Amino acid sequence: MESVDAVKGILNKIYGTKKGAGAFKKIYPLIEKFPARKREARDYFSQEDVILITYGDSIYTGEEAPLKTFHRIAAKHFKGVFSTIHILPFFPYSSDDGFSVIDFYCVNPKLGSWEDIKSLNSDFKIMFDLVLNHVSSKSNWFEKYLNEEQGFEDLAIEADPSTDLSGVTRPRSLPLLTEFTKSSGSAVNVWTTFSADQIDLNFKSIDVLEKMVEILLFYVNQGATILRLDAIAYLWKEIGTNCVHLSQTHDVVRLFRSILDCVAPDVMIITETNVPHVENISYFGDGRNEAQMVYNFTLPPLLFYSFAIEDSTALSSWAKGLYLKSEANTFFNFTASHDGIGVRPLEGILPEEEIDRLIKIVKENGGRVSYKRNSDGSESPYELNITYVDAFLNKKSGFDEYHSNRFLASQAIQFVLPGVPGTYIHSILGSHNWEQGVRQTQMARTINREKLRFDDIIKQLEDPDSFRSRIFFPYIGLIKIRKKQPAFHPNAFFEILELDPKVFAILRHCKEQIIYTLTNISSTHVSVSLPKDIGDFDMKDLLSGKIFKANSIGLNPYQFVWLVTRDR
């Protein structure tokens, strides 16, 4: 089988012929015994694909498992809206809100059970997190490493603290190495990229690789249709390099893709790499051998910036480059997630003083800034911690009459770009900064991770004058209309139209349909004309049903329209 040969070849490339053969001897039986799925010709994506991102306990009652509570609200409001639910790590953990996994095989009992996951899977596809860079220091695996048990001796990456590791790319300002004492009494310093509680796994060990392949296949067996490779960029470490995006890291992604091609070709991989755009899209590989999707990390900060200065020039220029070589790949377009708004993806796009402008706005709007350690010992901004909703607040005007419209306009742009859109639960619910949570945890990221009481949410959604209601129902309506338009297929043709700096305009085109989407990103009225070859056709807005003349389109502050030609 071609995919099996690919697995063997990749293992030989990573580990060398002898060690690669030993790795294949361990991994092939896992593939062989897995109930392989029938390979069918299919498109990976369609305009029907829209993903919701949530924690398992983002909504709770205190009386039932939060996963059951979420399923109740999802069954009522999200069926026919979202095709896939990304439940952020729902395993037992010790820190980082789930990303320090204690047991990869269990559902956190505080959230529910595997039955709750399967129940949700009956109504939605599910995206799982494969947290493969690190494991909790409280895990049974790390305990066995400290006890030097067979199969776990090489679990962690040990390093001499006197070694020069200043060239290692850091996503945090915390120490890279953390000291632990083994049961034998010997002290070791192990690699901890993200925190002292998150022990980096040593993928040079075949035992570690075997364990993670087992987990990969276990998740597929539990119903995962998309696997999110968390923090994948930092997976492989070689002292003397920057330890990010190394060739072996890409080889591991290719290995996982080849394994899935063997047993579950319908399951997709998405890579999470909060890095500049060119580095990010490298995880598409040759278009068919690595990830099917990558997070479009440049979109959230650049979109925020464009609205802040009321000028779409930089956004339009960047968006022109969103063409992909392969129809088997697409972007995952998101504006908010459980993390903050990444700053690194703006490198090479915006000068430092413009990033400082965003930092000032975030702080004025009650947000925080997280920093990373640089190789020279200095620190620089890594991400902006604020809800995306409150990033779009204009505090200078006192009462901001445009707040909800401005935020919804930003989301409308997300939904017209090429790619699969993803929405964070706190975006569609119109959540503000959770200041109390930050005070409780002393973590800046908590500001965007509030736990919401079910009864409170329902009450606010039932009040048409509440801010949540004014975000939620237009947002739902926007998605429902989008899903019906074939021109919004993730890989359909697009062209950026430069009509006015205050308007972001993009043409989406497929065999069945042409849509001109225009979004006024400013607080002033703007009049624009579509390209002259359109003539003076009447254009119908799919969102409002109103008719516009192609050569004279007036847009109110933060108004967005999706225009199609009306038969005359």
Total number of residues shown for the chain: 568
230 assigned to active site: yes
**Residue-wise burial string across 489-523, b where 16 or more C-beta atoms lie within 10 A, e elsewhere:** bbbbebebbebbbbbbbbbbebeebebbbbbbbbb
The secondary structure of residue 149, as a DSSP letter, is -
DSSP count for the chain of H helices, then E strands = 17, 25
Phi, psi of 33 (to 5 degrees): -85, -10
The residue among 360, 339, 301 whose CA lies nearest residue 443 is: 339
Catalytic residue from among 230, 390, 500, 541:
230
DSSP three-state, residue 504? strand
Count of CB atoms within 10 A of residue 37's CB?
A: 14
Rounded CA separation 23/11 (Å): 7
- Are the beta carbons of 189 and 98 closer than 8 angstroms? no
Residue owning tokens 């059951």: 68
Write out the H or E segment, with its range, that includes residue 373. strand 368-373
Paired with 242 in beta bridges are none
- Cβ partners under 8 Å of residue 406, min gap 6: 307, 392, 394, 400, 558
Rounded CA separation 362/379 (Å): 18
DSSP three-state, residue 101? strand
Rounded CA separation 406/521 (Å): 7
- Are the beta carbons of 527 and 315 closer than 8 angstroms? no
Strands 503-509 and 493-500, how do they pair? antiparallel
Mind telling me the catalytic residues?
A: 230
